[in-house]
Every structure is written in C-alpha cells, then in structure tokens.
Amino acid sequence: MKDAGEQLAHSTSSASLRRSEERSKQIEAEIDKDPSKFRVLTGDRPTGNLHIGHYFGSLANRVELQNKGVETWVLVADYQVITDRDETGPIRERVYSLVADYLAVGIDPAKSVIFNHSMVPALNQLLLPFLSLVTEAELLRNPTVKSELEATGNRALSGLLLTYPVHQAADILFCKANLVPVGKDQLPHLEQTRVVARRFDERYGRAVPEEPVFPQAEALLSKASLLLGMDGHKMSKSRGNTIEIGMSADETAKRIKKAVTDADRHITYDPENRPEVSNLVLLAALTSGRTPQEVAEEIGDGGAGQLKKLVTESVNEFFAPIRARRAELAANPDYLREVLYAGISKANERADLTLDEVRQAMGMVY
Ligand code: TRP
C-alpha cells in the first residue's frame, strides 16, 4: 500500500478530484436511502458576515441535509481565526453574528448542534495525540496551508497555521463525523483527517481491530455553481464585492447597481465568455427557482439595466424572510446565547466520551 503521506500530497490531483466528485454523487443517493448512516460536521471561521455565496455554496445544503434527517454538527471555528492573523478582532460579535446567520437561514437548533470549538476542552485536547501521528514534512506540504501562507504576504508561518489541518481533524473526529460538506480547497484537510484516524488505530488502536475508534470521514462536494462577486472576481469581503445575507434591500440594490457587465445588450448565459453577466443571470435564477437559460431569454435584448433590475428584485424577495428573521434574532441576544450554550453543552458531552475512548486506547487511564 502507498504511504498515507504520499497519498496526501497527491490528493488535489485531477484524478482524485474526479473520484471525490463521483463519490459525492453516490453519497447523495445513499443519504436519500438512509440518512441515519451519516453524521455531518461543517463549520466556518468567524471572520466576517456570511454572504450569498456562502448561502448558495454551503448553507442551503446544510439545511437540506439537516431536513433530510442527517445528524448535523455546525462548528464556529473561533480558534481558526488566529491561524493567519495576529488579533482575534471583534470575535464575540462575529461568533454571535454567525449564529444569527445560521438560525436565520434555517439551521434548526432542535435538529443540529451549533457550537464553537474554543468552548470544548476535550475536543482541543485531541490535538495532542493527533499531532503525534503526523510528520513535519506532511504538514509542510499541505497545499491549502501553503496557499494560505502566500495569501498572508509570506508572513512567518505560525505553528497554529501549520497544524490547523490536524486541529480540523479533531473538529471532525471528536463527534465521529463521517461526512464533511466542503469545497475542493478543503480536500487535502480531509485526507489528513483520514490519515490521522487510520494511524490512531494502527498505533494506539483497541484490541478489537474491526472496531476502529475513529471513522473515515468523506467529503461531500458542493453541487452548486460558484457565485462570483459583483466585480466578477471571487466573492470576498475584502474586495467589497459581496452581498451579505444580513444586508438591507437598499444596500443590496446599490451593490448590484455597481456590478460589472459588458457591452452586449443581448443577455445570454455563457459563463465561459461572459462571466460577469452570466453571474448576474445565475443569481437571478437561483433566487427565483428558474434556470439561467430561462432568465436570459426573459431579458433578451433588455440589456444590463433590465437584468440588474430583475436580479435586485429577485435577490431582495428571496432573502426578505431570512433577513426579517435575522433582524429578530439580532434583537434577542439572550436567545442566541441560549442556543450557543445548548450546543456547547452537547459538544462537551460528546467530546468527553471520545476523549475517554482515546485515553483507554492509549492506556492512559489512572
Ligand atoms: N476551514 C473551514 C473554513 O475556513 C472551517 C472549518 C474548521 C471546518 N474546522 C472544520 C470545516 C472542520 C469543515 C470541517 O471555512
């Protein structure tokens, strides 16, 4: 068998990406048959407000999984904020803003567990045995860590940035999740998680080898087409090209008004050759439940002005109930705190059980 570390280095190759895509499709079908086979963990770093790219790229899918009956854990990864920056910033506000976003879009605290990992000591303690299972070379060649380091202008690599994929393994394995909805960029981390799980059992494993302590977690790749920002570049807060879930209808209209288009008045859906116009068409389609082709045909020779008008109406109409609910939630900090603390309590219960198993397996029982 190939060394697991070698596999990790190759995990972003196109062949393995295709395999992950195919496997994701199979998993979708398996979920429809028997959702109880899966436990999902997903999460976000609390670095800013969530935008409609997050909504269509991942949040809507989480809600769908939850509503299909898949046990879902939603993590606010607050320690991950300091992997590549010096300050925690307004972390408290951001954590609660994320909780409000989650609830507003339909994550239901009666069905899903929302928690932040800094409040779950046993989860974090898993990092110590897990770090013993990986080598410095493996950590240094993680492609996502490398590109994140470059994105910070080549500042010194902190120990936390270097090891955060292993911390993320603890996020996933503390609750024994076997399914992680992710974008392609996170595939190397999932491979790292599987390596950690496998090596834990090889090294410290229990007497009964067919009962591993940790599952092999698989990726569920997003099916949604990627939404671009209003300038045609990747949607990101720092570019000011996002539409946040919590924005007002007026702010949304302003952002869409400024959107980049092109000189051709005839509107078509052609993402390859007309990325900016097609992105607006896609956005109208996603928010009105139609296909992009239908939207493009409706506008026809109406030009960018008419397209933007349609996009604005349709985005604002789609997000109106979500925004109303978000405003209600934001006005009720006690409720948000209650939800978060209930999630933290469930996460602690689960993490304590897992850490006990780990101690047993390692013979560290006193
Ligand atoms: N790295 C993820 C992000 O940047 C957040 C995250 C932390 C996560 N731990 C995780 C995602 C575990 C999936 C599984 O959005």
Q: Are 108 and 185 found together in one domain?
A: yes
Cβ neighbors of 156 (< 8 A, separation 6 or more) are: none
Q: Are 156 and 65 found together in one domain?
A: yes
Report the separation in Å between the CA atom of 165 and the middle of ligand 1, taken as the mean of its atom positions: 9
Ligand 1 pocket check for 77: Cβ under 6 Å: yes
Domain that holds residue 321: 237-330
Q: Are 102 and 186 found together in one domain?
A: yes
Q: How many CA atoms does the CB half-sphere of 145 hold within 13 Å?
A: 27
Q: Are 111 and 192 found together in one domain?
A: yes
- To the nearest whole number, what is the mean pLDDT of the chain? 93
Ligand 1 pocket check for 314: Cβ under 6 Å: no
Q: Are 204 and 245 found together in one domain?
A: no
Write the CATH number for 257: 1.10.240.10
Q: In what order do the strands lie in the sheet with 218-221?
A: 112-116, 71-76, 39-44, 179-182, 218-221
Ligand 1 pocket check for 343: Cβ under 6 Å: no
Q: Are 53 and 183 found together in one domain?
A: yes
Report the separation in Å between the CA atom of 322 and the middle of ligand 1, taken as the mean of its atom positions: 24
pLDDT value at residue 153: 83
User: Would residue 306 count as lying in a domain?
Assistant: yes
Q: Are 204 and 160 found together in one domain?
A: yes
In testing the pocket of ligand 1, which one of 80, 184, 194 has its CB within 8 Å of the most ligand atoms?
80
Report the separation in Å between the CA atom of 6 and the middle of ligand 1, taken as the mean of its atom positions: 23
Residue with tokens 């000189």: 263
Ligand 1 pocket check for 75: Cβ under 6 Å: yes
Residues in a beta bridge with 51? 244
- Signed CA dihedral, 165, 171, 176, 178: sign only: negative
CB atoms inside a 10 Å sphere around CB 285: 20
pLDDT at 4 over 60: no
Segment 95-108 shows an average pLDDT of 98
User: Would residue 3 count as lying in a domain?
Assistant: no
User: Would residue 341 count as lying in a domain?
Assistant: no
Pick the atom of ligand 1 nearest to 41's CA: 14
Confidence class for position 85, pLDDT limits 50, 70, 90: confident
For residue 233, what are its two tokens? Answer: 């570049």
In testing the pocket of ligand 1, which one of 168, 176, 235 has its CB within 8 Å of the most ligand atoms?
168
User: Would residue 63 count as lying in a domain?
Assistant: yes
DSSP letters, 192-208, are HHHHHHHHHHHHH--S-
pLDDT value at residue 9: 47
User: Would residue 159 count as lying in a domain?
Assistant: yes
In testing the pocket of ligand 1, which one of 171, 178, 187 has its CB within 8 Å of the most ligand atoms?
171
Ligand 1 pocket check for 192: Cβ under 6 Å: no
pLDDT value at residue 209: 63
Write the CATH number for 173: 3.40.50.620
Q: Are 69 and 169 found together in one domain?
A: yes
Segment 3-18 shows an average pLDDT of 61
Q: Specify the higher pLDDT residue, 283 or 205.
A: 283
Q: Are 67 and 134 found together in one domain?
A: yes
Q: Are 153 and 123 found together in one domain?
A: yes
pLDDT at 224 over 90: no
Residue nearest to atom 2 of ligand 1 (CA): 44
pLDDT at 82 over 50: yes
Residue nearest to atom 3 of ligand 1 (CA): 44
Pick the atom of ligand 1 nearest to 186's CA: 1
Segment 263-285 shows an average pLDDT of 96
Give the chain's domain count: 2
Confidence class for position 336, pLDDT limits 50, 70, 90: very high
Residues in a beta bridge with 40? 72, 179
Q: Are 169 and 244 found together in one domain?
A: no
Ligand 1 pocket check for 175: Cβ under 6 Å: no
User: Would residue 281 count as lying in a domain?
Assistant: yes
Confidence class for position 207, pLDDT limits 50, 70, 90: low
Q: Are 70 and 108 found together in one domain?
A: yes
pLDDT at 269 over 50: yes
Q: Which residues of 206-225 are buried (b: 16+ CB within 10 A; e: fewer)?
A: eeeeeebbbbebbbbbbebe
CA–CA gap between residue 116 and residue 177 (Å, rounded): 16
User: Would residue 29 count as lying in a domain?
Assistant: yes
Ligand 1 pocket check for 80: Cβ under 6 Å: yes
Q: What is the pLDDT of residues 104-158, one digit of tens each?
A: 999 999 999 999 999 999 999 999 999 999 999 999 999 989 988 888 887 899 9
User: Would residue 336 count as lying in a domain?
Assistant: no
